[in-house]
Amino acid sequence: MSTEAHDRQFVVALARGLDILRCFRADEPLLGNQDIAKRTGLAKPTVSRLTYTLTQLGYLVHEARFGKYRLGAPVLSLGYAALAGLDVRQVARPFMEELALYSDVAVSLGSPDRTSMIYTESCRGRGALTIRLGVGSRVPLATSAMGRAYLAALSEAERTRLLDEVRRFHPENWERVAAGVEQAIKDYQTRGFVLSLGEWQSDIHAIGTTIRLPDSGQIMGLNCGGAAFVLPRERLEQDLGPRLVEIARRIEASLGA
Protein backbone atom coordinates (compact mmCIF):
# COMPACT_ATOMS: atom_id res chain seq x y z
CA MET A 1 0.00 0.00 0.00
CA SER A 2 2.83 2.39 0.73
CA THR A 3 5.08 3.59 -2.02
CA GLU A 4 8.09 1.67 -0.77
CA ALA A 5 8.40 -2.01 -0.12
CA HIS A 6 8.73 -1.47 3.61
CA ASP A 7 8.19 2.13 4.51
CA ARG A 8 8.68 2.57 8.23
CA GLN A 9 7.19 6.06 8.13
CA PHE A 10 3.90 4.73 6.80
CA VAL A 11 1.26 3.95 9.43
CA VAL A 12 -0.53 0.82 8.22
CA ALA A 13 -3.32 0.79 10.83
CA LEU A 14 -4.35 4.32 9.86
CA ALA A 15 -4.30 3.47 6.17
CA ARG A 16 -6.48 0.43 6.81
CA GLY A 17 -9.01 2.46 8.74
CA LEU A 18 -9.25 5.00 5.92
CA ASP A 19 -9.57 2.17 3.41
CA ILE A 20 -12.69 1.15 5.26
CA LEU A 21 -14.15 4.64 4.98
CA ARG A 22 -13.45 4.64 1.24
CA CYS A 23 -15.61 1.55 0.77
CA PHE A 24 -18.72 3.65 1.36
CA ARG A 25 -20.09 5.19 -1.82
CA ALA A 26 -23.08 7.32 -2.67
CA ASP A 27 -24.68 4.43 -4.52
CA GLU A 28 -24.10 2.05 -1.63
CA PRO A 29 -24.12 3.94 1.67
CA LEU A 30 -24.83 0.94 3.99
CA LEU A 31 -22.21 -1.79 4.48
CA GLY A 32 -21.72 -4.62 6.96
CA ASN A 33 -18.43 -5.98 8.28
CA GLN A 34 -18.59 -8.81 5.74
CA ASP A 35 -18.98 -6.36 2.83
CA ILE A 36 -16.04 -4.34 4.13
CA ALA A 37 -13.86 -7.42 4.64
CA LYS A 38 -14.49 -8.42 1.03
CA ARG A 39 -13.75 -5.00 -0.40
CA THR A 40 -10.59 -4.35 1.58
CA GLY A 41 -9.20 -7.87 1.81
CA LEU A 42 -8.75 -7.44 5.56
CA ALA A 43 -9.38 -10.24 8.07
CA LYS A 44 -12.76 -10.11 9.80
CA PRO A 45 -11.41 -9.48 13.32
CA THR A 46 -9.34 -6.62 11.90
CA VAL A 47 -12.42 -5.11 10.25
CA SER A 48 -14.35 -5.58 13.49
CA ARG A 49 -11.77 -3.61 15.50
CA LEU A 50 -11.45 -0.87 12.91
CA THR A 51 -15.21 -0.39 12.48
CA TYR A 52 -15.59 -0.39 16.26
CA THR A 53 -12.98 2.38 16.50
CA LEU A 54 -14.53 4.42 13.69
CA THR A 55 -17.93 4.08 15.36
CA GLN A 56 -16.56 5.24 18.71
CA LEU A 57 -15.19 8.35 16.97
CA GLY A 58 -18.41 9.06 15.08
CA TYR A 59 -17.05 8.43 11.61
CA LEU A 60 -19.31 5.42 11.23
CA VAL A 61 -22.84 5.00 12.58
CA HIS A 62 -24.24 1.55 13.19
CA GLU A 63 -27.73 1.08 11.81
CA ALA A 64 -28.97 -1.72 14.05
CA ARG A 65 -32.06 -2.26 11.92
CA PHE A 66 -29.91 -3.46 9.01
CA GLY A 67 -26.88 -4.62 10.97
CA LYS A 68 -24.81 -2.31 8.78
CA TYR A 69 -22.85 0.91 9.01
CA ARG A 70 -23.11 4.25 7.27
CA LEU A 71 -20.74 7.19 7.32
CA GLY A 72 -21.21 9.62 10.20
CA ALA A 73 -21.55 13.41 10.20
CA PRO A 74 -17.91 14.17 11.07
CA VAL A 75 -16.90 13.39 7.48
CA LEU A 76 -19.21 16.25 6.40
CA SER A 77 -17.26 18.55 8.66
CA LEU A 78 -14.02 17.45 7.00
CA GLY A 79 -15.55 18.04 3.59
CA TYR A 80 -16.62 21.53 4.59
CA ALA A 81 -13.12 22.33 5.83
CA ALA A 82 -11.59 20.86 2.68
CA LEU A 83 -13.67 23.16 0.48
CA ALA A 84 -12.56 26.14 2.53
CA GLY A 85 -8.97 25.21 1.73
CA LEU A 86 -9.57 25.36 -2.02
CA ASP A 87 -9.08 28.97 -3.09
CA VAL A 88 -9.25 27.90 -6.72
CA ARG A 89 -12.99 27.33 -6.36
CA GLN A 90 -13.78 30.99 -5.65
CA VAL A 91 -11.59 32.12 -8.53
CA ALA A 92 -13.02 29.58 -10.98
CA ARG A 93 -16.67 29.82 -10.05
CA PRO A 94 -17.67 32.99 -12.01
CA PHE A 95 -16.12 31.64 -15.20
CA MET A 96 -17.78 28.27 -14.70
CA GLU A 97 -21.16 29.92 -14.08
CA GLU A 98 -20.74 31.94 -17.25
CA LEU A 99 -20.28 28.78 -19.31
CA ALA A 100 -22.98 26.87 -17.42
CA LEU A 101 -25.42 29.67 -18.18
CA TYR A 102 -24.41 29.80 -21.83
CA SER A 103 -24.52 26.03 -22.37
CA ASP A 104 -27.40 25.16 -20.02
CA VAL A 105 -25.55 22.10 -18.79
CA ALA A 106 -23.17 21.52 -15.89
CA VAL A 107 -19.60 22.76 -15.61
CA SER A 108 -17.43 21.12 -12.95
CA LEU A 109 -13.96 21.34 -11.50
CA GLY A 110 -12.23 18.31 -10.02
CA SER A 111 -9.11 16.91 -8.36
CA PRO A 112 -7.45 13.57 -9.03
CA ASP A 113 -7.58 10.79 -6.47
CA ARG A 114 -6.01 7.46 -7.48
CA THR A 115 -8.03 6.18 -10.44
CA SER A 116 -10.82 8.77 -10.23
CA MET A 117 -11.48 12.49 -10.34
CA ILE A 118 -13.42 14.01 -7.46
CA TYR A 119 -15.69 16.99 -8.18
CA THR A 120 -14.67 19.98 -6.07
CA GLU A 121 -16.97 22.57 -7.61
CA SER A 122 -20.05 22.25 -9.77
CA CYS A 123 -22.17 24.85 -11.57
CA ARG A 124 -25.40 23.94 -13.24
CA GLY A 125 -27.14 25.55 -16.15
CA ARG A 126 -30.81 26.38 -15.99
CA GLY A 127 -31.68 23.48 -18.28
CA ALA A 128 -34.51 21.26 -17.05
CA LEU A 129 -32.35 18.15 -17.22
CA THR A 130 -28.94 18.48 -15.68
CA ILE A 131 -26.46 16.00 -14.32
CA ARG A 132 -26.97 15.04 -10.67
CA LEU A 133 -23.34 14.92 -9.64
CA GLY A 134 -22.46 17.22 -6.81
CA VAL A 135 -19.30 18.16 -5.02
CA GLY A 136 -17.66 14.98 -3.79
CA SER A 137 -18.79 12.77 -6.68
CA ARG A 138 -16.23 10.50 -8.27
CA VAL A 139 -15.84 9.88 -12.01
CA PRO A 140 -13.43 7.36 -13.56
CA LEU A 141 -10.18 8.45 -15.22
CA ALA A 142 -10.39 6.46 -18.40
CA THR A 143 -13.97 6.97 -19.55
CA SER A 144 -15.03 10.40 -18.28
CA ALA A 145 -14.11 13.64 -20.05
CA MET A 146 -12.53 15.12 -16.94
CA GLY A 147 -10.54 11.98 -16.27
CA ARG A 148 -9.31 11.71 -19.83
CA ALA A 149 -8.23 15.35 -19.88
CA TYR A 150 -6.27 14.79 -16.68
CA LEU A 151 -4.55 11.72 -18.11
CA ALA A 152 -3.72 13.65 -21.28
CA ALA A 153 -2.09 16.43 -19.28
CA LEU A 154 0.26 14.08 -17.39
CA SER A 155 3.79 13.15 -18.33
CA GLU A 156 4.12 9.92 -20.31
CA ALA A 157 5.68 8.12 -17.34
CA GLU A 158 3.03 9.23 -14.89
CA ARG A 159 0.24 8.34 -17.31
CA THR A 160 1.62 4.86 -17.94
CA ARG A 161 1.87 4.18 -14.23
CA LEU A 162 -1.73 5.31 -13.66
CA LEU A 163 -3.10 3.41 -16.64
CA ASP A 164 -1.62 0.24 -15.19
CA GLU A 165 -3.88 0.70 -12.18
CA VAL A 166 -6.86 1.88 -14.21
CA ARG A 167 -6.70 -1.18 -16.41
CA ARG A 168 -7.85 -3.38 -13.55
CA PHE A 169 -11.22 -1.61 -13.51
CA HIS A 170 -11.93 -2.47 -17.13
CA PRO A 171 -11.16 -6.18 -17.39
CA GLU A 172 -13.41 -6.97 -20.33
CA ASN A 173 -13.09 -4.01 -22.63
CA TRP A 174 -9.62 -2.65 -21.97
CA GLU A 175 -8.60 -2.39 -25.60
CA ARG A 176 -11.62 -0.24 -26.39
CA VAL A 177 -11.09 1.92 -23.29
CA ALA A 178 -7.38 2.32 -24.05
CA ALA A 179 -8.23 3.39 -27.60
CA GLY A 180 -10.54 6.05 -26.20
CA VAL A 181 -7.79 7.34 -23.94
CA GLU A 182 -5.35 7.37 -26.87
CA GLN A 183 -7.76 9.41 -28.99
CA ALA A 184 -8.31 11.76 -26.05
CA ILE A 185 -4.58 12.38 -25.76
CA LYS A 186 -4.43 13.29 -29.46
CA ASP A 187 -7.47 15.58 -29.18
CA TYR A 188 -5.94 17.26 -26.13
CA GLN A 189 -2.72 17.98 -27.97
CA THR A 190 -4.50 19.16 -31.12
CA ARG A 191 -7.29 21.32 -29.77
CA GLY A 192 -6.89 21.49 -26.01
CA PHE A 193 -9.95 19.47 -24.97
CA VAL A 194 -11.15 15.87 -24.94
CA LEU A 195 -14.51 14.18 -25.53
CA SER A 196 -16.53 11.51 -23.79
CA LEU A 197 -19.55 10.51 -25.84
CA GLY A 198 -21.52 7.93 -23.93
CA GLU A 199 -18.36 6.12 -22.85
CA TRP A 200 -18.76 6.82 -19.18
CA GLN A 201 -22.54 6.63 -19.08
CA SER A 202 -24.47 5.89 -22.22
CA ASP A 203 -26.66 8.99 -22.19
CA ILE A 204 -24.02 11.46 -21.03
CA HIS A 205 -21.84 13.56 -23.35
CA ALA A 206 -19.06 15.78 -22.07
CA ILE A 207 -15.89 17.65 -22.88
CA GLY A 208 -12.94 18.14 -20.55
CA THR A 209 -9.77 20.13 -20.22
CA THR A 210 -7.33 20.95 -17.40
CA ILE A 211 -6.12 23.81 -15.25
CA ARG A 212 -2.63 23.94 -13.80
CA LEU A 213 -2.31 25.64 -10.40
CA PRO A 214 0.48 28.26 -10.38
CA ASP A 215 2.35 27.38 -7.18
CA SER A 216 2.12 23.65 -6.81
CA GLY A 217 1.81 22.86 -10.50
CA GLN A 218 -1.04 20.55 -9.52
CA ILE A 219 -3.35 19.61 -12.40
CA MET A 220 -7.14 19.90 -11.94
CA GLY A 221 -9.84 18.82 -14.35
CA LEU A 222 -12.54 21.05 -15.79
CA ASN A 223 -15.50 19.66 -17.70
CA CYS A 224 -18.77 20.59 -19.30
CA GLY A 225 -21.37 17.91 -19.78
CA GLY A 226 -24.89 16.60 -19.56
CA ALA A 227 -27.61 14.76 -21.43
CA ALA A 228 -26.42 13.49 -24.80
CA PHE A 229 -29.39 14.81 -26.73
CA VAL A 230 -28.62 18.45 -25.89
CA LEU A 231 -24.90 17.95 -26.55
CA PRO A 232 -24.39 16.58 -30.05
CA ARG A 233 -20.79 16.04 -31.13
CA GLU A 234 -20.74 19.06 -33.40
CA ARG A 235 -21.89 21.42 -30.65
CA LEU A 236 -19.18 20.06 -28.35
CA GLU A 237 -16.44 20.27 -30.97
CA GLN A 238 -17.29 23.59 -32.65
CA ASP A 239 -18.82 25.63 -29.85
CA LEU A 240 -18.43 24.40 -26.27
CA GLY A 241 -14.95 22.83 -26.52
CA PRO A 242 -13.18 26.03 -27.54
CA ARG A 243 -15.14 27.95 -24.93
CA LEU A 244 -14.13 25.50 -22.19
CA VAL A 245 -10.46 25.88 -23.15
CA GLU A 246 -10.88 29.64 -23.10
CA ILE A 247 -12.33 29.75 -19.61
CA ALA A 248 -9.61 27.35 -18.41
CA ARG A 249 -6.99 29.85 -19.66
CA ARG A 250 -8.86 32.73 -18.04
CA ILE A 251 -9.05 30.87 -14.72
CA GLU A 252 -5.31 30.20 -14.88
CA ALA A 253 -4.67 33.86 -15.64
CA SER A 254 -6.77 34.90 -12.66
CA LEU A 255 -4.91 32.48 -10.40
CA GLY A 256 -1.56 33.78 -11.54
CA ALA A 257 -2.45 37.40 -10.89
Minimum CB–partner distance for residue 255 and DNA (Å): 22
* Contact pattern for a second copy over residues 90 through 129, marking x by CB under 8 A: --------------------xxxxx-x-xxx---------
Minimum CB distance to DNA smaller for 7 or for 203: 7
User: Closest separation between CB of residue 5 and DNA, Å?
Assistant: 10
Least CB distance to DNA at residue 42 (A): 5
SS (H, E, C) 39-59: HHCCCHHHHHHHHHHHHHCCC
The H-or-E segment that residue 86 falls in is none
Q: For the CB of residue 215, give the shortest distance to a second copy in the complex, in Å.
A: 5
Residues 6+ apart with CB under 8 A from 89: 83, 109, 120, 121
Beta carbons of 132 and 168 less than 8 angstroms apart: no
- Alpha-carbon distance 153 to 84, whole Å? 26
Exposed / middle / buried, residue 31 (Cβ in 10 Å: 0-12, 13-18, 19+): buried
Of 16 and 250, nearer to a second copy (C-beta) is: 16
For a second copy, the binding residues in 199-228 under the rule CB under 8 A are 215-216, 218
Question: What x/- string results for residues 65 through 94 when contact with a second copy is judged by CB under 8 A?
Answer: x----xxxxxxxxxxxxxxxxx--------
Count the alpha carbons within 13 Å of 60 in the hemisphere toward its beta carbon. 31
In sequence order, the 6+-apart residues with CB closer than 8 A to the CB of 43 are 37
- Interaction residues for DNA, span 9-68 (CB under 7 A): 9-14, 16, 32-35, 37, 42-46, 48-52, 67-68
Residue 88 binds which one of a second copy, DNA, none, with CB within 5 to 8 A depending on kind?
none
Binding at 77: pick from a second copy, DNA, none (beta carbon under 5-8 Å per type) = a second copy
User: Which one of DNA, a second copy, none interacts with residue 190, CB within 5 to 8 A by kind?
Assistant: none
**Positions of E strands within 87-203:** 106-113, 116-123, 138-140, 194-197
Per the CB < 8 A criterion, the answer to whether 248 and 222 are in contact is yes
Residue 84: partners with Cβ closer than 8 Å, 6 or more residues away: none
CB of 68 to DNA, least distance (A): 6
Q: Which residues bind a second copy (CB under 8 A)?
A: 2-3, 9-11, 13-18, 21-22, 24-27, 29-30, 48-50, 52-54, 56-59, 61, 63-65, 70-86, 110-114, 116, 118-120, 134-138, 215-216, 218
